[in-house]
């Protein structure tokens, strides 16, 4: 049993919690500083009436998550077992598919009832990510439950505790089972992907873009020239190439991106001849492309929410319009821009406004052809709209 503490919610925040908003903020609570990371807290009103039960865990956003609206529910191993079991049932179809897609999210934080915790599946290996020291206090229970209810090859973890949600460098992210090869090869809709479970914060792929990659492959690549900006390991380029793209160009400023992207092409036996990999700041590349009068039929734009390079600070909420204008300038007539953002600071309506503004300022017409948000395995909590962060629009430039 974990110790429980009562905390009084300030009046103006009470309705939020009654409406089941899951994220606990320290501003909303009297005496938040009297509790410790990982404490179970009962949120009560100033008359002592129970509102919700949660845990304290300071993350980049928020200071904890609610777990239950039943005063008598105990937060113990059984509680976590039920949550994880339900989450696995929700992914039944992913588990059944052992051939074409072997990488997916098993547990998506507050969407599955426990904020601050995610579990991903990579061909029999499980990767548990802890987003605060608070949730990490429940580690033993959660790992035990996982070991009891799933067949696993091995279990790995990432600890992303600090205030900015940064990865905590550790010697070893391996927990138990068999150690994974570096890399292991997983499949996504039949395409291979090299995954490194113990090589820093990121494993090589962002699983939430699966449906977008498939659509690029199936409907938008054949015979096209493709540009992938902020390309990371080149996942979009690989799908585009396999979908029949004449050429792909992947641009990312991280040095590692060249070897990583080459590897992803290689594990799919793609001839590298028409795949260009450019290590550069995309904002410089745009200038180069304009100078050389380059035009692309398909351009993917998937920037981080915030990034600082030597010359630029990019913030999606402030600079997306300008970024789009640069992209529109090097997109062919009737070409398609895949505009993506994972910023939780603005919603799809604002994102559509950014697109409208960019085209309007250039006096060019456009048509939105596809609209994506998170896939089914990234389950969202209906009371936490920010959790539905992914927004992807396929926009055709019409001339
Ligand atoms: N689109 C990728 C994920 C992008 S992650 C995918 O689907 O896998 C963000 C990437 O943007 C990182 O690899 C980072 O190195 C890169 N990046 C950030 N700022 C950049 C800039 N100014 N120019 C080029 N790449 C940048």
Residue 312 banded pLDDT, cuts 50, 70, 90: confident
Measure 231 CA to ligand 1 centroid, in angstroms: 5
Average pLDDT over residues 333-352: 97
302: tokens are 């998937």
Measure 228 CA to ligand 1 centroid, in angstroms: 10
Determine the residue of 304, 313, 327, 339 to mutate for testing ligand 1's pocket, defined as the one with the most ligand atoms within 8 A of the Cβ atom.
304
Nearest CA to ligand 1 atom 19: 307
CA 107/CA 83 separation, integer angstroms: 9
Element (H, E) at 337: strand 331-341
Identify whether the C-beta of residue 258 lies closer than 8 Å to the C-beta of residue 280: no
0.95 surpassed by pTM = yes
Residues 6+ apart with CB under 8 A from 42: 4, 5, 6, 7, 50, 52, 53, 71
Question: Domains of the chain (ranges plus CATH)?
Answer: 4-68 (2.30.130.10), 77-190 (3.30.750.80), 206-398 (3.40.50.150)
Name the percent of the chain lying above pLDDT 90: 92
Q: What pLDDT does 65 receive?
A: 98
End-to-end CA distance of the chain: 65
Determine the residue of 103, 209, 278, 307 to mutate for testing ligand 1's pocket, defined as the one with the most ligand atoms within 8 A of the Cβ atom.
307
Element (H, E) at 307: strand 306-308
| SS3 at position 289 | helix
| Residue 354: pLDDT over 60 | yes
Q: What pLDDT does 94 receive?
A: 98
Measure 119 CA to ligand 1 centroid, in angstroms: 23
Q: What pLDDT does 343 receive?
A: 96
Within 6 A (CB) of ligand 1 lie: 206, 209, 230-233, 235-236, 251-254, 257, 281-283, 302, 304, 307, 309, 312, 314
Which of 85, 72, 86 minimizes the C-alpha distance to 1?
Answer: 72
Q: What pLDDT does 1 receive?
A: 56
Average pLDDT over residues 243-248: 98
User: Ligand 1: which atom is nearest the Cα of residue 302?
Assistant: 1
Mean pLDDT of the chain: 96
| Residue 311: pLDDT over 60 | yes
Average pLDDT over residues 70-81: 97
Tens digit of each residue's pLDDT (9 = 90 or more) over 189-206: 999 999 999 998 899 999
Nearest CA to ligand 1 atom 25: 252
User: Ligand 1: which atom is nearest the Cα of residue 234?
Assistant: 8
Determine the residue of 252, 257, 314 to mutate for testing ligand 1's pocket, defined as the one with the most ligand atoms within 8 A of the Cβ atom.
252
Tens digit of each residue's pLDDT (9 = 90 or more) over 139-189: 999 999 999 999 999 999 999 986 666 676 766 899 999 999 999 999 999
CA 221/CA 149 separation, integer angstroms: 41
Determine the residue of 188, 213, 230, 254 to mutate for testing ligand 1's pocket, defined as the one with the most ligand atoms within 8 A of the Cβ atom.
230
Measure 68 CA to ligand 1 centroid, in angstroms: 38
């Amino acid at each position: 049993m974990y110790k429980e503490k009562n905390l009084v919610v300030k009046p103006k925040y009470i309705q939020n919690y009654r409406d089941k908003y899951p994220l606990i903020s320290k501003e909303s609570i009297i005496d938040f500083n009297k509790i410790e990371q990982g404490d179970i807290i009962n949120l009560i009103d100033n008359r002592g009436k129970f509102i919700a039960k949660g845990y304290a865990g300071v993350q980049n956003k928020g200071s904890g998550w609610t777990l239950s609206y039943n005063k008598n529910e105990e937060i113990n191993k059984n509680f976590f077992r039920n949550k994880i079991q339900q989450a696995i049932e929700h992914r039944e179809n992913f588990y059944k598919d052992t051939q074409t897609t072997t990488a997916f999210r098993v547990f998506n934080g507050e969407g599955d009832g426990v904020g601050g915790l995610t579990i991903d599946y990579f061909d029999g290996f499980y990767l548990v990510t802890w987003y605060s020291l608070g949730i990490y206090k429940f580690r033993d229970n959660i790992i035990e439950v996982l070991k009891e209810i799933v067949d696993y090859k091995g279990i790995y973890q990432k600890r992303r505790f600090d205030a900015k949600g940064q990865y905590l460098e550790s010697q070893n992210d391996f927990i138990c089972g068999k150690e994974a090869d570096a890399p292991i090869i997983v499949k996504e809709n039949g395409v291979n992907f090299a995954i490194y479970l113990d090589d820093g914060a990121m494993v090589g792929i962002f699983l939430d873009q699966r449906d977008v990659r498939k659509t690029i492959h199936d409907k938008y690549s054949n015979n096209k020239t493709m540009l992938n900006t902020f390309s990371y390991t080149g996942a979009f380029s690989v799908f585009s190439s396999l979908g029949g793209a004449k050429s792909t160009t992947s641009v990312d400023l991280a040095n590692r991106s060249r070897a990583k992207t080459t590897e992803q092409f290689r594990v799919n036996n793609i001839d590298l001849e028409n795949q260009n990999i450019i290590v550069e700041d995309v904002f410089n590349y745009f200038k180069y492309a304009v100078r050389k009068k380059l035009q692309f039929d398909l351009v993917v734009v998937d920037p981080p929410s915030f990034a600082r390079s030597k010359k630029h600070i990019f913030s999606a909420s402030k600079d997306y319009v300008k970024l789009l204008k640069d992209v529109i300038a090097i997109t062919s007539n009737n070409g398609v821009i895949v505009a993506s953002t994972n910023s939780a600071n603005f919603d799809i309506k604002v994102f559509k406004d950014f697109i409208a503004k960019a085209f309007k300022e250039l006096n060019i017409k456009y048509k939105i052809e596809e609209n994506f948000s998170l896939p089914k395995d990234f389950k969202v909590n209906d009371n936490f709209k920010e959790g539905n962060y992914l927004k992807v629009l396929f926009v055709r430039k019409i001339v």
